[in-house]
Amino acid sequence: MAEPWKLLAFLGGGVVVLFWISMSVGPATIPMMQALQGAFADEPPVISTILVELRLPRAILGVLVGATLGLSGAALQGLFRNPLAEPGIIGVSASAALGSVIIFYFGLSGTFALALPLGGIAGALLAVLVLFALAGRDAGILTLILAGVAIASLAGALTSLALNLAPSPYAQSEIVTWLLGSLADRSLSDVWLAGPLMLGGWALLLISGRALDALSLGEDTAETLGFAMNRVRLQVIVGTALSVGAAVSVTGGIAFVGLVVPHLLRPLVGFEPRRLLVASALGGAALILVADIAVRLISEQTELKLGVLTAMVGAPFFLFLIYKTRSQGQ
């Protein structure tokens, strides 16, 4: 089986190249090698500071957030055995966004640097707790999806309420801008706070691979193939909450990556849920890097937000997927 390694090598190579391009794209033209060498000097020159303080976090977060969205999308689709599932479906993205919006609303985002990410993570964790209170440990997939839809609706409603009651037009526009989703102006401290949580979430998702393979044959068969489904469900949901909660809190809403990437890569890995996980993580990272490079190249004055671009491409794709699934009679 040489094929899967070729695909992973191709995607991995793509991420490395795109990372490099992402580092070299920006308003200032920077000689990359010179700036890299300068970064290790006692008094780094301005070009090195731009590279390390501005572009490096942006590129690293692009990889982390893209991989999180691709990986969690693939894992959720495996868990729900439905190609239309994505991180939004269990309400985690919406709740993480709500958590961050609440921080905006009460004007806490300026009080200390980490207030915003912490709010997002708290929202994601709260969503998981409510999900388990609603769906319970023995609930089937349908209950879980419905509970997720309910949580997402509630989080959306509360976000609208916060917007509605926002104290000033300035606060309102700050919230809306953040909700659009972007990697611009993030710092290395964002990477340090959100990165470990995302990595922890990835670990939980990756160890669920074999169970997701078994789930292809349904929950009963998966259980009789030796996988405790309650534990697998918990692993995937907590893994998603940790990684997506942390990702959303740093970047705002970036939609549809978790839907599009696994769908495109699935035929290339023989439709196997476990092999789709790492491929989707790399594919998600590559897609976010491409999109983030594109928004910087397309827009000159008002920067096109990353989340807007992914939604513009992703939403029609979602419609197409539903149409295709429906016409297959599934």
User: Which among 14-22, 31-39, 211-219, 305-313 is the span making contact with other proteins, rule CB under 8 A?
Assistant: 211-219
Position 316 contacts other proteins (CB under 8 A): no
Residue 276 tokens read as 């789709």
Among 225, 297, 315, 322, binds other proteins (CB under 8 A): 225
Give the CA angle between residues 33, 184, 159 to the nearest 5°: 160
Position 213 contacts other proteins (CB under 8 A): yes
Position 300 contacts other proteins (CB under 8 A): no
Position 177 contacts other proteins (CB under 8 A): no
Calpha distance 251→117 (Å, rounded): 9
Tell me the per-residue interface mask from 233 to 272 with other proteins, x by CB under 8 A, - otherwise: ---------------------------------x---xxx
Cβ(100)–Cβ(288) below 8 Å: no
Position 209 contacts other proteins (CB under 8 A): no
DSSP state string for 187-201: -HHHHHHHHHHHHHH
User: Which among 19-27, 41-49, 96-104, 210-218 is the span making contact with other proteins, rule CB under 8 A?
Assistant: 210-218
Q: If you search the block for the tokens 């309420």, which residue do you land on?
A: 161
Which residues inside 58-117 make contact with other proteins, applying CB under 8 A? 81
- Could you give the residue ranges of the DSSP H alpha helices within the chain? 3-24, 32-39, 46-49, 56-80, 92-105, 115-135, 141-164, 169-180, 188-206, 209-215, 219-224, 229-251, 257-265, 273-298, 306-327
The minimum distance between CB 216 and other proteins, in angstroms, equals 5
Among 5, 33, 41, 226, binds other proteins (CB under 8 A): 226
Q: Output 24 or 216, the one with its CB closest to other proteins.
A: 216
Among 221, 299, 312, 315, binds other proteins (CB under 8 A): 221
Q: Output 52 or 232, the one with its CB closest to other proteins.
A: 232
Q: Output 83 or 156, the one with its CB closest to other proteins.
A: 83
Q: Output 80 or 105, the one with its CB closest to other proteins.
A: 80
Cβ(18)–Cβ(8) below 8 Å: no
Cβ(127)–Cβ(151) below 8 Å: yes
Residue 314 class from Cβ within 10 Å (0-12 exposed, 13-18 middle, 19+ buried)?
Answer: buried
Cβ(251)–Cβ(193) below 8 Å: no
The minimum distance between CB 207 and other proteins, in angstroms, equals 9
Among 42, 43, 220, 300, binds other proteins (CB under 8 A): 220
| Contact positions vs other proteins (CB under 8 A) | 81, 210, 213-218, 220-221, 223-228, 266, 270-273
